[in-house]
Amino acid sequence: MMNKFFMSLVLVLMMATGVCFASVETEVYVESSLVSGNTWLLDYVVKNKTLGAVKELTVEFDFDSFDNLIDVSGAGAGCNIQVWPAISQAGDGWAFDVVLDMPLGIGGSFTGVSMQVDYLGGGDPLMQYYEVVDPVTFVTIADGYTVPEPMTLLLLGLGGLVIGRKR
């Protein structure tokens, strides 16, 4: 009984610290804030966990869920951003391509990319498909889906605990 409890505790601690599920991928976090009506501001953080430098990133949005993508990163964001209609393996939609002025080294992070979008419903506004590509060969280095910024995840988890406790 004690051994089972100890093993469960170790597993929970490993999951909480990311030891058990750590991957060698680039992570793209997004934090959202409602501007007005159905217009949202999405702020991105890119964390390089690949085995090489990251120079270019594409984030895609479904046509059915998003419209009117506007780059509001501002001058001096440290990157060049292009917004365009896209047809890709994730489906037809909008995309924005970020080319960093300086490559993002291993273990580094980049902030400053902000998009204003109209969210039309039909899906999760915080989940967009992304690809990290080699700017010379255009080969995909890493891909996945954006995740809410870690503090947002913590608040969602605490909210779930409060609701679960009231029942």
How many domains does the chain fold into?
1
If you search the block for the tokens 């409602």, which residue do you land on?
Answer: 34
Give the Cα separation of 126 and 147 in Å (integer).
Answer: 7
130 in any annotated domain: yes
Per-residue pLDDT band at 11 (split at 50, 70, 90)? very low
19 in any annotated domain: no
Give the Cα separation of 143 and 98 in Å (integer).
Answer: 14
**Coil, helix or strand at residue 139:** coil
Determine the distance from the C-alpha atom of residue 86 to the mean position of all C-alpha atoms in its chain, rounded to a whole number. 18
Stretch among 55-69, 102-116, 121-135, 153-167 having the lowest mean pLDDT: 153-167
Whole-model pTM?
0.70
- Residue 129's CATH number: 2.60.40.290
- Enclosing domain of residue 41: 25-162
